[in-house]
Chains A and B, each alone.
Chain A
């Protein structure tokens, strides 16, 4: 069966520091991968999605970037965090073919102080 791992679960970082959140998927090949953010009182905002290694699409301009160095690995990064980057970050995967569901990791609570 497929599983998705996301870490760390919580993170407190000072303003201006770098960020690296990692997500890996097991039990499937060539998944679509996604990064979402849930800010306080808001819905799930799609940040990045990837249909293959090195293929990243950004949904919103921001202080963040994403990379997919391996088929089942998706990394969310920032060179310098802003206070507004605080939120709950979620990685997800889907089969990417036809009508399909997305499956989420447990999320990372990021607090920028």
Chain B
């Protein structure tokens, strides 16, 4: 039972344009959401997070938006750079149940120079 879903397995974007990665979740107990970036044969690295009390969090070129009513979040990268090419995972946790992190299946982003 996949509680966190990323329905787009891949995305290609031109350098300098905006990349939008989407994520949906089903568990209403989730109150903390994270995005990770992963290169092949490496562990994921934390990018940005958002708690359920916010609807937007920004860190440099990265912005995460949360729509709690739709159980949807998205990661915006602008401007996109070739070094952003990687697999991006969305994750969610519920602080009330011990912070197990549940991940989506990932979206492979390719930024074309």
The chain A residues found within 8 Å of chain B, CB to CB, are 6, 32, 34, 36, 42-46, 49, 51, 57, 59, 88, 90, 92, 94, 96, 98-107, 109
A-B CB contact pairs (8 Å), 10 listed: A42-B105, A43-B104, A43-B106, A46-B101, A88-B41, A94-B99, A99-B49, A100-B32, A101-B49, A106-B42
* Residues B45 and A104 in contact, CB atoms below 8 Å apart: yes
Residues of A within 8 A of B36 (CB): 104
* Residues A107 and B105 in contact, CB atoms below 8 Å apart: no
Residues of A contacting B: mostly = strand
* Residues A44 and B99 in contact, CB atoms below 8 Å apart: no
Distance A6 CA – B44 CA, assembled complex (angstroms)? 13
How many residues does chain B have at the interface if contact means C-beta atoms less than 8 Å apart? 27
Residues of A within 8 A of B44 (CB): 44, 90, 104
